[in-house]
Structure 1
């Protein structure tokens, strides 16, 4: 009996030792730790051979005691990846981005973990070629190897990864042709970035089959050659195609989305020609008589009859005839100019008098009697370069006329790089917001009319309504619904010169943010033209009677440009505060930062280049607004002698694992019971301010994320 008990005890003890020993996956992870040269932040400190449970180690996630995820981003790890990582057969996600890792990718990683779904290694120093065994990852959905030093051509087997949704290989040294079937096999691909490599050869024609693509498809800064495939225009219209700085040649196909791209999508390709480039396509070389795809561009006009071709048919016009035509043209131009100058001066005098008293100019009756004004029916015979003046309503509820507007009391609300803004109170008590634009642009009335009437059709509770406009040769006015509670910027920071103000509580801030998102979604998705605001910041988010947000200044920069003003898109619309910007408490008060520099900090990084506006610009701007709402700080902050953007500062706070209170607006300390909500919004903000536009969510995604927060106190 005693012997049996001893035997049982020995067996149970041996079993316990087996249970407590580290399994094979634990040893695979330890081999990774041993392959690292540096772990300065001690992220892998609890990776210990004496531990029996690797699932409790930092960065490791398990399911059914199997490692399914390994995520250690931005921890300054240096070293290589060992082949033993292939001993994690259940691994689904590997994220080692933004470290200092180097060396080659071990093929064993792909052969040993065929179920891998995401491989994110961007921002390291990996080199070498991509192993052909990557074709075994048939479940792979996200492959991001950007910002490394990979080289060689892409293995043909990569097209077997047919579930890929994200493929980012930018900023490496990849060479060679894109594999055959690149477009046909990636039907689920949503994001594609091949920029800043050395790919060459033709862009595959089957790329046009990538119907799920979104955002920017980036082929820029490579050595792609040959013609642009016509099928590239078949990509979704919302997709921005960047072909800049390659060796592409021939005419730009006029198919689908390629027809609406501006010239900035094609610059850096000297061999390209045709619309939208200002470079006509010359006749085909070698005597080929095939018709030019752009036969009516300058330099390619077809002959209408034999006499039109030099050297054929009748002789050209003689020298005397040419001189007579030139002299006649000069006399005619002079007469028209004199008539135009007379009419213009009389019309300006009249129109200027009618609105001078609104802007504080001297008023007099003599000018009214002497001036000459054209009514609409009288001016129709004039050149369209001189348009009639008048008040044009854009809203059916506009019941006032021009005389009522000009007789109203007007108060200056503010001045900016895009005109002066007035608060105008009519005799019947109706209050309007009136913006005065430039004094030129008389030759662009039709363009102004098209733009302003398109804006006037926008109707949404979170967008300021453009009710009417006024056009004359030397004055342009935009008449808006008046919004009484100022801007979000003033609500967050107070008015200059006022020491105290009533700060917004968290639930009001959250409600404002949701309203902004609704307004931008309307511009992006629901409005007829799928607009981009392009200049979203707290100064042009106005607050209504109940602090409901109303987005303003949409399309304003373009209207001001047409009207003859000299606006900058990111003009300084903020008055500099008298108190300095502060960071971190009384001991770290910075010097005053000129707010004229603030506007650029709301801009997405790519918006500072000459590219077609993208909706992701607005997403980035909204992310900066989110940070401003959470921190109560302007988008540029200063700690000691260091000046940085609020985005950089928050990233630093997160990396240093500082408590939320250090970044939170002091006025929100009383709302710390909502800490979970605030952190949730902060995470959304950090997603919005990603440097690469394709990594930012859409505004629809932002709305869904906000709705997913436990916001019981928000309407």
Structure 2
């Protein structure tokens, strides 16, 4: 009997093992969430939260490596304290806006991974805890519309990455301290009890960010000059009075005897009675005028605020505008505009546009087709986003058809398009991001002492990889003769293994006619408005090879002299190389950084001949890219097919920071 009981207990334990394994690594997270639900969810709004399911599948909960990384519970009428949530030690995003949570904010020192904190429209009170100022990875902090008191702590300067600081509609008092937050984009302390002069570091924010603080002065509000204090009033030392309203202990009366500086009529000579009456009339008229102006200003201010609030109540616009304000992303569509949708290509992990808008963004570069950004999503994934702001995009159908063509291109030497977003006001392209830079910076960055030169083997490998990528683009369709249209060193990126990836291809269709192309790479037959061809790509690639060989940027300004081609202006790299070769000074062409390597002269001369062939003035004399690949492979002594069909390897970021060697900047802009 005892043996049977033991076996039954053993069987039960075996049945429970899968569940134990499921929650073992996040048991503390599970306990914290359940404790919070019990204490705060009086209305049972969190219906999916139960003890028999995986917490990572609960509404409002997202996980990373089986730990809760994101908790978004907005407008659920939750009550109580935040204390139960302090066990979520891997939390990155905490958004509890528009609930009825109350009490002081607990110790946040366990939340070392927090990046975004949104606690607005609740009933929190007390001072800002010091632990909140220790979250050095924080990007967004919104404590607005609560009952916080005390001063804004100087320790907020520790949050050096902070992009948003929203403290409006609380009961903060004291001065606004100097903030040294270089990345701060969104700041608001309006409707508090703050006083003193606004520091210069915050004077660039609009007046609405400081409004309804009667004691504040200085730019962008009224000047502090002439503002008086009333040191005789208890507790008012150093307080600043409004230049419009009188001090609080001074009663202004219509009686002339109670006006400052106006003595009773009996103390004046008869000849001054008329002057006193005129002065009195002038003062009364002045008071009436000032009161009228103030009333008008107050009416306009409150009317505008009430209009804004009424618009905010109209549903989705509120959420959309909040995401715009709280996002560091420079590419959200404006509130009220047409909403598009994210379109993903096969094999890509999907995310919502809102995830992109919430992401922390950093500008990577600006080129002829738009601006590119690095975006860090809440789940830790990093993508590169190109905003086609300056592109000339036709209709939606034309755009989508072209994106479908580009999205199907997969190859180990190109940067594949992963997703796109189309709306009337916004067009976004999403690529994988890789941080290893581009050919331009490897060649030209940090020239001088201490620089690590780009060795010959690496240069030749990059040339071969870029040639394969461009060949794949040219031969990817039997019906469409696809053209890159913008071959240059900033558009050759390197993956983790140092392999070249061609980026920014297929976008020349969207280039406005007035946009100047990269003159240093442009084929001579491609003037303004002329159609780009695959042969013009070959010319640009030839210039790229000359850039690899010479270490010179095609857009650098030369002043003439030895080695400079004898002329000023923008360097025409093919022309300069040809002139030097004709004078039989071929050795003068090559980059001095290559002179330290032995037994490479033959390979350098061979690649120079390929480059000169590609940059022939006549398009008909230029080889096809598939032949360029074969010539480079023969030079390297390898036998590799021009491209691998069906390759779907990991790709790079399509953009890197803009840079030039000098001159007009047209030859080295990023994308």
- TM bin, normalised by shorter chain, reads 0.3 to 0.5
Report the TM-score, using the length of structure 1 for normalisation.
0.41
Report the TM-score, using the length of structure 2 for normalisation.
0.44
